[in-house]
């Protein structure tokens, strides 16, 4: 049976970025600028996305504005009737970039902050003055009349400042705020021991979100992403493998999620030579874990198997070395103990981070 089309195309335009966050979920082996898809190929991919029924395009990276053709891609997606969402650090979103995006018909911008304290924000991104530039970018987005989502990634060093983060989002006029605990992939996994919040921190952050949701009901939406390591059940990663999203890497490899290249035994098709429809409907990479037929116990007979789809394949492999295993975030997994072991290990760990390495070929528009 042909599956319904993907809801969203996640276009990772580049891994280049002016920031070096230690929780970045980009791969450790960052893609070189020279390997990135050219403009013509991205334009063709956007045409194909519209043809197969994709509704939204999320332009991300790295920093998508590091591509000089970012606005051109937005304009092309818009002309094809696709809803365009730019996910940006904001540090290069100056007047010129904003004007170009507006002219291109951008629909929505999601702006990330590393913290609500300027010095901590700049320390985490390893980028001087980034906080001030982000504040200016937020003001530009609101002045342009665009919907604004603010994103804060939460970890041990900033989890106590959730109320201030939400207050800042309110002051900047955000329509939506995402409070997202670190997801432990890529550089985030490398830095897990230093980043994992304690259970008490998690409870306090959750309470702060609940309070703010009650206070701001009808005025601002607050999304909250909890850390798997303190969970009883896993997240339905990407809404289920190859069920809702298609992720395109900077070099053009099509994958069901951003971390899939860490999995062994896959050859991911390239959008340079395979149409999106073939990739979505019939590639081994997309069919392998779609649905429930691949599952082992306890997922196979679990009544949540079509709710969370067995959790995250990349996490199961990263922590257990088994791509078919139940995500150990699930309490029903026989390996759930690895999550508690990681939490225990992190309790004595110092807050020393391995910052994402900058690429020498960063070129900002
Ligand atoms: Fe989900 Fe599998 Fe856990 Fe059931 S056993 S809740 S399907 S991860
Ligand atoms: Fe790959 Fe979850 S990140 S399946």
pLDDT, tens digit, for every residue of 284-324?
Answer: 999 999 999 999 999 999 999 999 999 999 999 999 999 99
Instruction: Say if residue 337 is exposed, middle or buried (CB neighbours under 10 Å; 0-12, 13-18, 19+).
Output: exposed
For 363: left if phi > 0, alpha if psi spans -120 to 50, otherwise beta; the answer is: beta
- Residue 155 has a pLDDT of 95
Taking CA 349 as the corner, what is the angle to CA 343 and CA 351, rounded to the nearest 5 degrees? 115
Ligand 2 centroid distance, CA of 255 (Å): 10
The answer to whether the CB of 314 is under 6 A from ligand 2 is yes
pLDDT confidence of residue 361: 41
pLDDT at 358: 62
| Pocket lining: 336 vs ligand 1, CB cutoff 6 Å | no
- Angstrom CA distances, 357 to 32, 49, 202, 204, 249, stand at 12, 32, 29, 32, 18
Q: At a CB cut-off of 8 Å and minimum separation 6, what does 43 contact?
A: 72, 73, 76
Q: Is 259 in the pocket of ligand 2 (CB under 6 A)?
A: yes
Q: Which helix H or strand E contains 4, and what residues bound it? A: none
Separation CA 330–CA 230 (nearest Å): 10
Classified as helix, coil or strand, 328 is coil
At 22, is the secondary structure helix, strand, or coil? coil
Phi, psi of 224 (to 5 degrees): -135, 125
- β-pairing verdict for 254-255 and 245-248: antiparallel
Would you state the pLDDT for residue 1?
Answer: 65
From the CA of 295, how far away is ligand 1's center (Å)?
A: 10
Judge contact between 273 and 252, C-beta under 8 A. Answer: no
Instruction: Tell me which of 241, 293, 298 to substitute to probe ligand 1's pocket, judged by most ligand atoms within 8 Å of the beta carbon.
Output: 298
C-alpha 38: how far from chain center = 23
pLDDT at residue number 363: 38
Low-confidence ranges of the chain (pLDDT < 50): 359-365
Whole-angstrom distance, CA of residue 222 vs CA of residue 242: 26
Contact 281, 251 (CB under 8 A): no
Which string of b and e fits 72-85 if b means at least 16 CB within 10 Å? ebbbbbbebebebb
pLDDT digits (tens, 9 = 90+) for 85-110: 999 999 999 999 999 999 999 999 99
Closest among 145, 154, 63, 150 to 102, alpha carbons compared: 145
């Amino acid at each position: 049976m042909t599956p319904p089309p993907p809801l969203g195309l996640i276009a990772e335009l580049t891994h280049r970025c002016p920031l070096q966050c230690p929780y970045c979920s980009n791969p450790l082996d960052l893609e070189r600028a020279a390997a990135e898809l050219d403009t013509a190929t991205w334009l063709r991919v956007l045409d194909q996305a519209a043809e197969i029924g994709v509704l939204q395009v999320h332009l991300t990276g790295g920093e998508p504005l590091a591509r000089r053709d970012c606005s051109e891609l937005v304009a092309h997606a818009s002309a094809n009737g696709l809803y365009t969402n730019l996910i940006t650090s904001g540090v290069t979103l100056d007047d010129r970039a904003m004007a170009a995006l507006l002219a291109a018909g951008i629909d929505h911008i999601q702006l990330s902050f590393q913290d609500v304290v300027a010095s901590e924000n700049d320390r985490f991104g390893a980028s001087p003055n980034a906080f001030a530039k982000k504040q200016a970018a937020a003001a530009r987005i609101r002045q342009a009349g665009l919907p604004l989502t603010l994103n804060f990634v939460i970890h041990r060093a900033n989890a106590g400042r959730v109320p201030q983060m939400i207050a800042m989002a309110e002051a900047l006029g955000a329509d939506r705020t995402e409070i997202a605990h670190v997801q432990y992939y890529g550089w985030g996994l490398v830095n897990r021991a230093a980043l994992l919040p304690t259970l008490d921190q998690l409870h306090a952050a959750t309470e702060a979100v609940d309070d703010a949701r009650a206070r701001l009901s009808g005025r601002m939406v607050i999304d909250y992403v909890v850390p798997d390591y303190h969970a009883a059940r896993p997240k339905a990663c990407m809404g289920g493998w190859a069920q809702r999203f298609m992720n395109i890497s900077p070099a053009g490899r099509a994958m069901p999620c951003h971390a899939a290249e860490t999995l062994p035994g896959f050859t991911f098709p390239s959008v340079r030579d395979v149409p999106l429809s073939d990739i979505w409907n019939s590639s081994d990479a997309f069919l392998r874990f779609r649905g429930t037929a691949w599952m082992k116990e306890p997922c196979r007979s679990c009544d949540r198997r079509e709710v969370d789809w067995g959790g995250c394949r990349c996490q199961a492999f990263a922590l257990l070395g088994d791509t078919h295993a139940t995500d150990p975030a699930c309490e029903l997994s026989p390996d759930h103990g690895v999550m508690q072991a990681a939490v225990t290990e992190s309790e004595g760990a110092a807050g020393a981070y391995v910052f994402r390495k900058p690429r020498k070929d960063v070129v900002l528009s």
